[in-house]
A and B are shown apart, each in its own frame.
Chain A
Amino acid sequence: MNVQADLKYTKDHEWIRLEGKQGTIGITDHAQEELGDIVYVELPAVGQQIQKSKSLGVVESVKAVSEILAPVNGKVVEVNSALNGKPEQINQDPYGKAWMVKMEVANPSDLDDLMNVEDYKKYVQEEKA
């Protein structure tokens, strides 16, 4: 499993990278691996206010529909619309090219409630067991 040290993680397998007040969000390598080939992405409208754990969009593999949930409260400021034509990038580069949404995070301290990389690794192991 590929994880990155500078990210925070949710129990629903999203990651967020905070730079100033801007959070970049995607799904983890473990999530894309579980889903399999991703063939469709639906992203939110720019400007939308979204509450923590509410839907930020959808990724679909051949077999399943999976919602992307907001890791924290905030406002959508940019979406990676390149993914619409190339959803397979989520399988190939989940922490890089395949970021999904940039949010203006309401309270950067909300990230303290999320898992760091060590906690996330443990969480995934426990989930597998």
Chain B
Amino acid sequence: MTEVALKRTPLFEAHQKLGAKLVGFAGWEMPVRYEGTLAEHQAVREAAGLFDVSHMGEIFVTGENSLEALQRLIPNDASRLKEGEVLYTPLCRESGGVVDDVLLHRIALDEWFFCVNASNIEKDFEWIQSKIGDRAEVLNESPNWVQLALQGPRSVAILQPLTPFLLNNLYYYQFAQCRVTDVPVILARTGYTGEDGFELYIPKEKGLSLWNALLEAGQKEGLKPVGLAARDTLRLEMGYPLYGHELSDTITPLEAGVGWTIAWDKGAFIGKEALEKQKAEGIARKLIGLETTEGIPREGYSILMGEQKVGEITSGTHSPSLKKGIALGWARSEFLKGEKEFSIGIRNRPVAAKRVKPPFWPTHVRKKT
């Protein structure tokens, strides 16, 4: 067996100096925690947190036929995007299964970029390129960017003094190109935590200086560096799906509870026939949220009704905000009608679980009203 060396972001040494525990994740050696997951989670909910998410990928699509090419590619409606707006969409196979779930940004009329999951960068790039063909230019720019996420209620207070751009101009799922310190960045009001905040796409060689500038500017606001462990508890409290858990090549958006991303009326797109068929015939399994007060649900545990297995946990954790166990999992649809009592098999013992409609914790993103 050959061991493949883990990739490192330009901030690797900065993480080491901060005392991070570094682990392998999707082929990258990433900080899983610094001070501690509970403290980092709480910082994001109550003050702010800074994440290195440079492992995520950026794939650019340009050309005069790019809108038309993207409309055939994705289930969601790219024509709804104005310049400076962001759209969440799955990329579906003909089967309806999900290649990846991504954020599509419209930079200009004919210029777009996808932010994609680290584990899927090559797969996505090949998929997008093969499906778009010569109708537009597709470029994998992932190695050239550092991505930082600044998340939490104090994000604006931390970031505003570092940029001449008026942050008030951006609402959730909007972005702009501006300078932060002297660095030109793509600044998006997006995130994976449910809090107000930003994701910054930064030229690779400027990543470290901006990381340091943000940490310093945030010191008096309670900003903490945050690792992947808290990123996971934060997203799970929001009920956000994570690729490889709630979504995969064999799970459709309808099954994963993100059917709202399918623009049925926009015309043809890859996977439409399969998804229409599934919708007409009924969806056999659906994603649900569960809470436990005793024991922590984990991926792979059975969802039970009486003695019968009716589903399986896809993500589960201890919720630092609720101080309870929370989980997402699929259950067979015939068991989901009406009020039902579920339990979760934890080490061969059924533990009572309450069905809850996610989010498990309220969101505080800056939506345009």
Most chain B Cβ neighbours within 10 Å, of A60, A61, A62, A65? A62
Query: Chain B: which residue is nearest A33 at the CB level?
Result: B21
Q: Which of B32-40, B62-70, B121-129, B177-185 contacts A (4 or more CB under 8 A)?
A: B32-40
Please state if A62 and B298 are interface contacts (CB–CB under 8 Å).
no
Binary contact readout B223-246 vs A (1 if CB under 8 angstroms, 0 otherwise): 000000110110000000000000
Question: What total of chain A residues lie within 8 Å of the partner, measured CB to CB?
Answer: 11
Please state if B296 and A60 are interface contacts (CB–CB under 8 Å).
yes
Q: How many A-B residue pairs have CB under 8 A?
A: 35
Please state if B298 and A65 are interface contacts (CB–CB under 8 Å).
yes
Partner of B36, one of A37, A40, A58, A60: A37
Please state if B347 and A62 are interface contacts (CB–CB under 8 Å).
no
CB distance from A83 to the nearest CB of B (A): 14
Give chain A residues whose Cβ lies under 8 Å from the Cβ of B259. Answer: none
Please state if A62 and B295 are interface contacts (CB–CB under 8 Å).
no
Once A36-B36, A39-B296, A40-B296 are accepted as A-B contacts, the answer to whether A62 and B21 lie under 8 Å apart by CB is: no
Give chain A residues whose Cβ lies under 8 Å from the Cβ of B317. Answer: 62-63
Please state if B318 and A36 are interface contacts (CB–CB under 8 Å).
no
In chain B, positions 4-41 with a C-beta closer than 8 Å to chain A are 21, 32-33, 36-38
Partner of A36, one of B229, B232, B295, B296: B229
Query: Chain B: which residue is nearest A84 at the CB level?
Result: B294
| Bound CA span A55–B32, Å | 27
Instruction: List the interface of chain A (C-beta within 8 A of B).
Output: 36-37, 39-40, 42, 58, 60-63, 65
30 contacts between A and B (CB under 8 A): A36-B21, A36-B33, A36-B36, A36-B37, A36-B229, A37-B36, A37-B37, A37-B38, A39-B38, A39-B318, A40-B295, A40-B318, A42-B295, A42-B347, A58-B347, A60-B296, A60-B318, A61-B37, A62-B37, A62-B38, A62-B229, A62-B230, A62-B233, A62-B317, A62-B318, A62-B320, A63-B229, A63-B232, A65-B296, A65-B298
Instruction: List the interface of chain B (C-beta within 8 A of A).
Output: 21, 32-33, 36-38, 229-230, 232-233, 295-296, 298, 317-318, 320, 347
**Additional pairs, 9, CB under 8 Å, beyond known A40-B296, A60-B296, A62-B317:** A36-B37, A36-B229, A37-B38, A40-B295, A42-B295, A58-B347, A61-B37, A62-B230, A63-B32
